[in-house]
Amino acid sequence: MNRTLRKVGIAMIVLVVALLGNLTYNQVVMADRYRQDPLNQRILFEEATRLRGQITAADGTILAKSVPSDDQYRYQREYPGGSAYANLTGYYSLRYGPIGLERSQQDILVGDDPSLLGDRVQDFLTGRDPRGGNVELTILPAVQQVAYDELTAKGYTGAVVAIKPSTGEILALVSTPSFDPAPFASHSEAVQKKAYNALVPARDPDPLTNRAVTNLYPPGSTFKLVVAAAALNAGMTPDTSVTSSATITLPNTGGATLSNFGRESCNGQVGDVTLTEALAHSCNTAFAEVAMSLGADAIRNQAIALGMDSTESNIGLRVSASTTGEMADQAAVAQSGIGQRDVVTTPLESAVIAATIANNGVRMTPHLISRVTAPDLTTVSQTEPEVANPDAIKASVAEQLKAMMITTEDATPGAGQIAGLEIASKTGTAEHGTDPKNTPPHTWYVAFAPAKAPTVAVAVLVENGGDAGLDATGSKVAAPIGRDVLKAAVAAQAAGG
């Protein structure tokens, strides 16, 4: 019987060898595919145990960092900037996944980005725990904090974007209400769940929405800057006469009217006013007529040159596409001319428009990330200022617009005028909703300073009239915040060189 026993012995070897062969296939040949399969949760857990890189502001202030923790994840994510920066950093949650920059810069922060390959190899060879790269932002904390504090002090729902006109660097990008990212990064699922449930189920206003880049708002009178640019470009001058009537009738609408604020004539004058006066006093009838005389294409072309009607873009955060809308007939053109109807912009785009005027008509691509560094802080990549459109507005036109905006600022009431700092601005008070006359308007303030040699452009949006209700105007609600942000930015840039 020993003969057959030996054959069974060979059979046992064959069985085990078959298992080993198959294991080798799974653990060597297929290993990478299984390891990187998106369904494999181990990646997320593995990343969580790596030393994730930092997110820092322009002055080195740390906005997100990982510190050692004595549990199985080994590192705890912290957000020293708190809710003022939460719309930028987002959070890194093991339960809900990352959002914000934590998500878009994921590959760099965990060290998986191809540009960090060398560092990964070095970590592997030296046996050091793999570390991620760092992301440095263009944000100036002094500006960001002022903007956040002013919006939250009065409980406003809104956004502030500040841009350096000459480079496109985003100096502040604030959205309120915000949230505290810390509990989302907690290693306790219970804490994460609680934080999430407190924010997510249909909270209005939703703290997770980034109003500065995601939401689209009717720009209201701030859009008159675009119409004015188109008009000057078409041969009008700041002194060209335009109507001052309190009300005009829209063509082909069966008598629908469009009127000035408070149904008054422009600046209380009879007859015509200049284009400068019309802008300074935000006369709707004048701009509606100017828009109709220019036509939809001229307005749209100017808007496109200023960055609207493009596709969705990304500055590390997803930016919704601002648009002029269809402008199908002259009535629509008239309404669009005062920034209503289907015209919508993000606060970022409004800031870009102001920055382009400030930068003599050269539109720079706005950017938020200034530098990516390796774990050892050597530079991996640096964002160079990029011209998006060298001739968005003719330089001569931009010069005229600047002067008009200085006049406008002088004519604008509201608190916060600063001695020694000349500002060029335009306010906006935009109707919205299904019952516009009884819904508090969105209020805007776009501006730049110092007016003669601008170093910062700003757009402030406060939803639903802030605390002023139906009486809210851009000058009352948004302008004081905008002026403080401009002041802070000019001061911070002076201090930082």
d(CA 491, CA 488): 5
Annotated catalytic residue: which of 221, 282, 336, 370?
221
DSSP conformation class of 112? -
**Residue 129 found at the interface with other proteins (CB under 8 A):** no
Q: Which is nearer to other proteins, 33 or 263 (CB)?
A: 33
Candidates 60, 72, 438, 497; binder of other proteins (CB under 8 A) is 72
Give whole-number Cα distances, 451 to 38, 171, 205, in Å. Answer: 52, 18, 35
Candidates 60, 67, 71, 197; binder of other proteins (CB under 8 A) is 71
d(CA 154, CA 39): 45
DSSP conformation class of 254? T
Q: Categorise residue 80: left if φ over 0, alpha if ψ from -120 to 50, beta otherwise.
A: alpha
Closest to 228 (Cα-Cα) out of 29, 8, 426: 426
- Within 2-41, the residues that bind other proteins by CB under 8 A are 2-6, 8-13, 15-16, 18-20, 22-24, 26-28, 30-35, 37, 39-41
d(CA 400, CA 407): 11
Sign, Cα dihedral of 427, 432, 437, 439: negative
Q: Categorise residue 103: left if φ over 0, alpha if ψ from -120 to 50, beta otherwise.
A: alpha
Q: Catalytic site residue 115?
A: no
**Residue 74 found at the interface with other proteins (CB under 8 A):** yes
Return the beta strands (E) in 158-312 as ranges. Answer: 158-163, 170-176, 241-243, 247-249, 257-259, 272-274
Per-residue tokens: 479: 């302008």
| Cβ 27 to other proteins shortest distance, Å | 4
- Within 43-62, the residues that bind other proteins by CB under 8 A are 45
Q: Which is nearer to other proteins, 41 or 310 (CB)?
A: 41
- Within 141-200, the residues that bind other proteins by CB under 8 A are 187-190, 193
**Residue 67 found at the interface with other proteins (CB under 8 A):** no
| Cβ 91 to other proteins shortest distance, Å | 16
Q: Which is nearer to other proteins, 31 or 495 (CB)?
A: 31
| Cβ 195 to other proteins shortest distance, Å | 13
Return the beta strands (E) in 177-271 as ranges. Answer: 241-243, 247-249, 257-259
Q: Which is nearer to other proteins, 43 or 62 (CB)?
A: 43
Q: Per-residue x/- marks for other proteins, 407-436, CB under 8 A?
A: ------------------------------
Count, residues near other proteins per rule CB under 8 A = 44
Residues catalogued as catalytic: 221
Q: Could you list the residues that contact other proteins (CB under 8 A)?
A: 1-6, 8-13, 15-16, 18-20, 22-24, 26-28, 30-35, 37, 39-42, 45, 70-72, 74, 187-190, 193
